[in-house]
């Protein structure tokens, strides 16, 4: 099925994001995780696209394997970094050949320094919007795009960011998934400004619980914004106790998801980092809610 139509149903979708494994050990962990999460019957799972080299082939092969060997519905991420249009068409053709009909079209960051200059491949495309068009031309794909609650780090201001987001929706995106964020209001503000600009593309929040203090330290890079100070203060109070930090992270993520569900979000997309336990814990906390029990 097309993820775009699943997301438009009256029940929120639940989905899990994985990364292509870098070596044999990571591959075993990923498949263990996939098998552990499969019984939760997510609506779909997604596999991110690496910055270059072999991890790109791995994205395609993991997506193919999920499609053929599991009961899960896979979505491949695809980026424009260092790819000519011919190469992009080739990857899109491989995905179609494996029966994969759902793709998240993101521009990607420059390999090495994610904040470095974005250089377009001489025969490539410039923006995610162009990737959306390529996928649309290639055939019957349901296409998703990225959304940024705190605006994209490269965007000068919120207004420009919203305008560019809407451009990619109008280019043919069926849905969007957000960058991670840590307060429901950040998502709600994004949803409101996009709606106020006349765009009704459903936006699925992407979530990841904080499990250790190091995640908070990296969160500015991950989310594009400083970690919310009032939450930071709560983590700092327990920072010497790893178990308490983890529990607080799971609790805060569960509370935020509950609030988002109460606000009628079209789905929740869990960034799993290829592990199952934290995602299952948040899921368990939400399982009693009518939305997820349906
Ligand atoms: P774009 O939509 O192209 O936007 C990039 C910048 O250009 C923004 O500032 C935007 O406002 C601006 N812009 C867009 N269109 C125009 C225009 N027409 N004129 C002027 N300015 C414009 N990265 C990976 O490498 N692999 C992944 O698998 C991956 N998955 C992701 C999944 C999600 C849910 C999210 C949120 C991000 C993901 N990323 C991934 C990261 C993403 O590639 C980077 O954040 C990237 O810098 C931006 O991608 P984008 O698709 O939003 O780019």
ipTM: 0.99
pLDDT band per the 50, 70, 90 thresholds, residue 51: confident
Which helix (H) or strand (E) segment is 143 a member of? strand 142-147
**pLDDT above 60 for 258:** yes
In whole angstroms, give the CA distance from residue 72 to residue 84.
30
Rounded to the nearest angstrom, the distance between the alpha carbon of 25 and the centre of ligand 1 is 30
Residues noted as catalytic = 17
- What angle is formed at CA 36 by the lines to CA 30 and CA 41, rounded to 5 degrees? 110
* DSSP element (H, E) containing 100: none
Average pLDDT over residues 265-272: 97
User: To test the ligand 1 pocket, which listed residue (7, 88, 106, 152) has its Cβ within 8 A of the most ligand atoms?
Assistant: 106
206 CA closest ligand 1 atom index: 34
The residue behind tokens 């043919």 is: 172
Is the whole model's pTM more than 0.90, yes or no?
A: yes
Output the pLDDT for position 39: 95
Contact predicate 209/286, CB 8 Å = no
pLDDT (average), residues 231-249: 97
Backbone φ, ψ for residue 6 (5° rounding): -60, -40
Q: What is the Å distance from ligand 1's center to 129 Cα?
A: 9
Per-residue pLDDT band for 88 (boundaries 50, 70, 90) equals very high
Q: What is the pLDDT of residue 290?
A: 58
Measuring from each residue's beta carbon to the nearest atom of ligand 1, which residues come in under 6 Å?
A: 48-49, 51, 77, 79, 104, 106-109, 127-129, 146, 152, 154-155, 160-161, 164, 167-168, 177-179, 206
Write down the mean pLDDT value for the chain.
94
Residue 115 pLDDT exceeds 60: yes
Note the pLDDT tens digit of each residue in 169-192. 999 999 999 999 999 999 999 999
Structure tokens at 159: 């207004």
């Amino acid at each position: 099925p097309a993820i775009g139509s699943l997301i438009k149903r009256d029940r929120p979708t639940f989905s899990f994001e994985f990364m292509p494994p870098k070596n044999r050990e990571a591959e075993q962990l990923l498949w263990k995780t996939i098998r552990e999460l499969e019984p939760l019957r997510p609506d779909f799972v997604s596999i991110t696209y690496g910055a270059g080299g072999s991890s790109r082939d791995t994205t395609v092969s993991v997506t193919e394997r999920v499609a053929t060997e599991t009961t899960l519905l896979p979505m491949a991420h695809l980026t424009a970094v260092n790819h000519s249009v011919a190469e992009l068409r080739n990857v899109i053709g491989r995905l179609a050949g494996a029966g994969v009909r759902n793709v998240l079209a993101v521009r990607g960051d420059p390999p090495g320094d994610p904040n470095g200059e974005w250089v377009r491949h001489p025969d490539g495309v410039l923006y995610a919007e162009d990737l959306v068009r390529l996928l649309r031309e290639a055939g019957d794909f349901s296409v998703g795009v990225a959304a940024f609650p705190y605006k994209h780090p490269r965007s000068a201001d919120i207004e420009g960011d919203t305008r560019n987001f809407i451009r990619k929706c109008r280019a043919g995106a069926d849905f969007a998934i957000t960058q991670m964020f840590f307060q429901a209001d950040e998502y709600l503000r994004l949803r409101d400004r996009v709606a106020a600009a006349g765009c009704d593309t459903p936006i699925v929040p992407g979530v990841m619980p904080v499990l250790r203090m190091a995640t908070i330290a990296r969160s500015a890079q991950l989310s594009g914004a400083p970690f919310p100070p009032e939450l930071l203060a709560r983590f700092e109070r327990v920072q010497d106790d790893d178990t308490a930090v983890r529990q607080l992270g799971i609790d805060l993520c569960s509370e935020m998801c509950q609030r988002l569900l109460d606000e009628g979000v079209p789905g929740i997309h869990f960034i799993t980092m290829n592990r199952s336990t934290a995602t299952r814990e948040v899921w368990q906390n939400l399982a009693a809610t009518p939305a997820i029990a349906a």
